[in-house]
Amino acid sequence: MPSTSTSAPNGLTRRSFLRGASLVGAGLIAGACGSDTGATQITFHQSKPEVIGYFGELVQRFSESRPDVRIRHDSTSNLSAGFVRSSPPDLGCLNFNFEVARFVDRGALSDLGDMPETDRINPDLGPLVDLTASYPGRTSVIPYSLMTAAVLYNRAMFDEHGIQAPTTWPELIDVCEALTEAGVTPIYSTFSEPWTVGQGLFDYTAGGMIDVAAFFQALEEQGSDTGPDSPVSFQKQFREPVERMLTLAQYSNSDAASRGYGDGNLAFANGEAAMYLQGPWALTEIAKTNADIDVGAFPLPVTENPADRKVRVNIDLALWIPEMSPNQDAARELFSFLMQPEIIDTYNADNLGFGVTTDAPEVTHPTLVEVQPYYDRAEFYLGPSQLLPQSIPIHNYAQALVTGADPDSVLRTIDADWARLAFRS
């Protein structure tokens, strides 16, 4: 996600980081030139658009200290095709999603459990990694950056109307009603882009009401038997969260169906709504329009018990090394370089991520400090939309729900999709 900082590791400026982006996207080769006939060449795959140039500078720094290693920084190759051709990258640094998970499940990634850096990883993140994918006896993936998402709210607008961040579902509805009566749009929604609904309203309400990890573990064990009569199903466990999602959707801007992510950032920055269900990646875009806006964050309360509040998280970046890499020693050296506290901590501070190590500093961004306690207490969940394979278009289903589709019909469809997928597996 975008960074709000103008500083970078080793005193480099953001401008110098971004200057290298075009070179990196084309496949930057960093290392010694002219006398590299005996150099080890490795491929580093990092395709998150906002930080390609950022990592390009880090790769250059590493190469300056290791002239015997040449690094191809790849941001465009097809990951699956590389594994099929037996030529995957030597080190990957990607969002930990189902594209990477299938390589974990098949044992295609090497064991990093013997690396000393793994001992520094926050143990509370282990269940998040394992819920997405794991391979027996291996530590296949090491978290690098964690994003923590909650309801963004305009602090000045809340203060103006004498409103405090709600801690229960009834309080949340009272807040929405009070804002509506005052002529203020409670929530700015962007239903024209499905992902904003899936990662926002859908994930927040489901994650705030059910034990996401337990649900998906039971769902996986149940497999193709999932349906209307099964103990675990979307029709049963997600029916109430969906009802509450639809209740909240009614407090959105009237033109939500035609508004997208960019519209939402601009509108919230201009004070057109009091709340916005987006992650920290939106903060930089909001600040571009209104650098002075005072934005807070609180976990969406969906029950009557304040203790049930949790924040949505996702492992934004994770490191891994393929089993078939012929250059694992060099890849491990680059891995260790990127895991140095002065490198990983600076990256997360620059890019509004939460540290994944036990010695990581707390966040300092004025919005994120409000959700730090929830992270510290491990009161977080992976969004349900992150745990469904891409072959199940959950974001589109969430969009259909908030734009008028019948909830029972949509939930039945999700169950049927899961059962078909489990049967084929």
User: Residue 174: CA atoms inside 13 Å, Cβ hemisphere, count?
Assistant: 13
Residue 132 clears pLDDT 80, i.e. is over it: yes
What secondary structure does DSSP assign to 278-316, as a single string? --THHHHHHHHH-TT--EEEEPPP-SS-GGG--EEEEEE
136 plus 168 within the same structural domain: no
Question: Is the model more confident about 36 or about 26?
Answer: 36
1 inside domain? no
Angle between helices 407-424 and 394-402 (to 10 degrees): 170
Q: Is the domain of 49 the same as that of 159? A: no
Is the domain of 195 the same as that of 183?
Answer: yes
The enclosing domain of 406 has a CATH number of 3.40.190.10
| Any domain includes 223 | yes
Distance separating alpha carbons of residues 165 and 155, to the nearest angstrom: 9
Shared domain for 104 and 233, answered yes or no, is no
C-alpha span between 286 and 421 (Å, rounded): 39
pLDDT band at residue 26 under the 50/70/90 scheme: very low
Closest CA to 168 of 208, 212, 210: 208
3 in a domain, yes or no? no
- pLDDT computed for residue 31 by the predictor: 53
Do 99 and 135 reside in the same domain of the chain? Answer: yes
User: Do 116 and 13 sit in the same domain of this protein?
Assistant: yes
- Cα gap 379→313, rounded to integer Å: 10
Please indicate, yes or no, whether residues 165 and 301 belong to a single structural domain of this protein: yes
Task: Answer with the residue of higher pLDDT: 397 or 97.
Answer: 397
Shared-domain flag, residues 202 and 140:
no
* HSE-up of residue 36 (Cα within 13 Å, Cβ side): 18
Residue type, 420: R
pLDDT surpassing 90 at residue 156: yes
Among residues 369, 397, 413, which one ends one of the domains? Answer: 369
- Residue 2 in any domain: the answer is no
Q: Against a cut of 0.85, is the pTM above it?
A: yes
Q: Which two tokens stand for residue 241?
A: 């969260």
Domain-embedded: residue 375 = no
pLDDT at position 38, please? 74
- Same structural domain for residues 65 and 201? no
The count of structural domains within the chain is: 2
Residue matched to tokens 């002219």: 34
Same domain, 212 and 73: no
Q: Which two tokens stand for residue 176?
A: 């929405």
Measured on CA atoms in the order 368, 372, 373, 375, is the torsion positive or negative? Answer: positive
Q: What percent of the chain lies above the pLDDT cut of 70?
A: 91
Does 125 lie in the same domain as 68? yes
**Amino acid 30: pLDDT:** 56
> 320 lies in which domain range?
9-147+314-369
Q: Is residue 109 part of a domain?
A: yes
Q: Which of 102-106, 192-196, 335-339, 373-377 has the lowest mean pLDDT?
A: 102-106
Give percent of the chain above pLDDT 90: 83
Identify any residues that bridge with 151 across adjacent strands, giving them in sequence order.
298
Q: 348 near 145, Cβ under 8 Å?
A: yes
Q: Which of 328, 343, 369 corresponds to the end of one domain? A: 369
For residues 333-356, give the mean pLDDT.
96
Domain boundary among 341, 369, 397: 369
Residue 101 sits in the same domain as residue 174: no
Among 281, 46, 290, smallest CA distance to 155 is for 290
Q: By C-alpha distance, which of 49, 55, 48, 95 is closest to 315?
A: 95
Is 285 a member of any domain?
yes
Q: Is residue 79, in this structure, part of any structural domain at all?
A: yes
